[in-house]
Amino acid sequence: MHLHLGIRGLVRRFVFTASCLLVLTALDATAQNSNHERREWNAPIPPFRIVGNVYYVGAHGISSFLIASSGGLIVLDGGFPETAPLIERNIRALGFRVGDIKYLLNSHAHYDHCGGLARLKRDSGAQLLASALDSETLNTGHQLSYGPGQLEAHFPRVHVDRTIADGQQVSLGTTVLTAYLTPGHTKGCTTWTTPVVENGITHHVVFYCSTTVAGNQLVNNAKYPNIVGDYEASFARLRKLPCDVFLGPHPSFFHMDDKLKRRKAGQRDAFIDPSELARFVEESQRDFKLELARQSAP
Ligand SMILES: [Zn+2]
């Protein structure tokens, strides 16, 4: 992990990281805030089954999902570099073997979601499948900045074995995942879906990539000229996906803590909510439009 020393670098790192979730309000954050935020996101939590054969194996603030098929395991997202050992521990705690991971997938090539993939790949021997447009970042371990609020970040590079096209399916045993390219947050942002069966009922699970602006420059972005069109197409597309179980790269996206509490209190279907995706897209698009207006203002 390439550490950026100096307050300015640390502040920018904090702003980028936090902005996956929050608007850019933390410009006066200190170096301590940065480390604190990152440590908080990486706090361990016990792994658990979400629905069907889909498990949560991530940390408190950064997601990683395990899909256990009859033909082996699939892991979606690797967290920060330091999240990977925790993900591996969680996989073992559920009774699975890291060596049984056949495929590694990535929602998007930001270092808080792909930084741990190199270690997961090394320890499992799994193949990494990713969109062509996020593959360059993964292959080089170099995350470019797409706006003044973003940091150029470095993370352990990880070789993409096979690129995934829009609509492409990945099958393992009886499990089938479908990739939907939903660019904007990154150029190759990929939303994955899979149907799972529980008690004879099929539930459509959506692993939402992200549609936050996260410091991206929306106006006159020479490195990403079609960024606004991409976001808008992604919003239109995402709201049409069938979704009973809404999941995302940060647990806060899908109110994980709240659902776990409700489940503990006896609501067994706390993670099933067919209206959640539409609500999330609507809110995210509203935030996007506000940010676009702000950046477009003279
Ligand atoms: Zn991100």
Residue span of the structural domain in which 209 resides: 7-30+43-296
Identify whether 145 is part of a domain.
Answer: yes
Residue 22 reports pLDDT greater than 80: no
Identify whether 102 is part of a domain.
Answer: yes
Q: CATH no. for residue 69?
A: 3.60.15.10
Residue 237 reports pLDDT greater than 70: yes
Residue 10 reports pLDDT greater than 90: no
Residue 28 reports pLDDT greater than 70: no
Cα(265) to ligand 1 centroid in Å equals 32
Output the CA torsion 240→242→247→253 (10° steps): 30
φ, ψ dihedrals at 85, nearest 5°: -60, -35
Residue 55's Cβ-side half-sphere holds a number of Cα atoms within 13 Å equal to 23
Identify whether 258 is part of a domain.
Answer: yes
Cα(199) to ligand 1 centroid in Å equals 34
Residue 13 reports pLDDT greater than 90: no
Identify whether 2 is part of a domain.
Answer: no
Domain count along the chain: 1
User: What's the pLDDT at 215?
Assistant: 93
User: What's the pLDDT at 164?
Assistant: 98
Cα(264) to ligand 1 centroid in Å equals 30
Identify whether 237 is part of a domain.
Answer: yes
User: What's the pLDDT at 125?
Assistant: 98
Residue 217's Cβ-side half-sphere holds a number of Cα atoms within 13 Å equal to 15
Q: For the residues 70-93, what does the mean pLDDT come to?
A: 98
Q: For the chain, what is the largest distance between any 2 Cα atoms, rounded to a whole number of angstroms? A: 57
Higher pLDDT, 8 or 193: 193
Residue 248, judged by CB atoms within 10 A of its CB (0-12, 13-18, 19+), counts as buried
pLDDT in tens, 185-228: 999 999 999 999 999 999 999 999 999 999 999 999 999 999 99
Cα(21) to ligand 1 centroid in Å equals 8
Cα(109) to ligand 1 centroid in Å equals 7
User: What's the pLDDT at 149?
Assistant: 77
Cα(282) to ligand 1 centroid in Å equals 19
What is the overall mean pLDDT for the chain?
90
Identify whether 38 is part of a domain.
Answer: no
User: What's the pLDDT at 132?
Assistant: 98
Cβ-based neighbours of 225, under 8 Å, separated by 6 or more: none
Residue 14 reports pLDDT greater than 80: no
Cα(71) to ligand 1 centroid in Å equals 30
Q: How far apart are CA 151 and CA 9, in angstroms?
A: 8
Strands 201-207 and 245-247, by their bridges, are: parallel
Residue 35's Cβ-side half-sphere holds a number of Cα atoms within 13 Å equal to 7
Cα(131) to ligand 1 centroid in Å equals 15
Identify whether 88 is part of a domain.
Answer: yes
